């Protein structure tokens, strides 16, 4: 017996976001810090808005490369940003 399976537009968008998040997690787990993330991947990874990403670039918080209108970030720089802003909790 053959079943037809259809995704609603919302379900498809949710699935796409989830797959993108899995891809980002896989990229983060790779040992090669020279992997580049595009702006959309960076925004998704950091869970920030496009405006926040722009502010961080303007304030020199995160290094980036720009080729034409495309913006890229090195995974190494993202990890450094997070490490430099890590606040340890005593006795944790």
Does any domain span residue 32? yes
33 assigned to some structural domain: yes
Domain that holds residue 21: 9-84
Could you tell me if 43 and 49 are in contact, meaning their C-beta atoms sit under 8 angstroms apart? yes
**Dihedral (CA of 61, 64, 81, 14) sign:** positive
The total domain count for the chain is: 1
CA 68 from chain centre, in angstroms, equals 20
Q: Is residue 39 within 8 Å of residue 74, measured between CB atoms?
A: no
Which CATH number does the domain housing residue 49 bear?
Answer: 1.10.10
**Structure confidence at residue 17 (pLDDT):** 82
Residue spans of the chain under pLDDT 50: none
């Amino acid at each position: 017996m053959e079943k037809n399976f259809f995704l609603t537009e919302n379900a498809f968008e949710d699935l796409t976001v989830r797959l993108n998040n899995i891809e980002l997690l896989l990229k983060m787990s790779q040992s090669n810090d020279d992997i580049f993330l595009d702006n959309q991947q960076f925004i998704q990874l950091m869970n920030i808005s496009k405006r926040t990403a722009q502010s961080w670039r303007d304030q020199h918080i995160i290094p980036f490369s720009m080729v034409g209108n495309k913006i890229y970030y090195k995974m190494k720089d993202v990890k450094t940003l997070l490490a430099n802003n890590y606040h340890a909790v005593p006795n944790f």
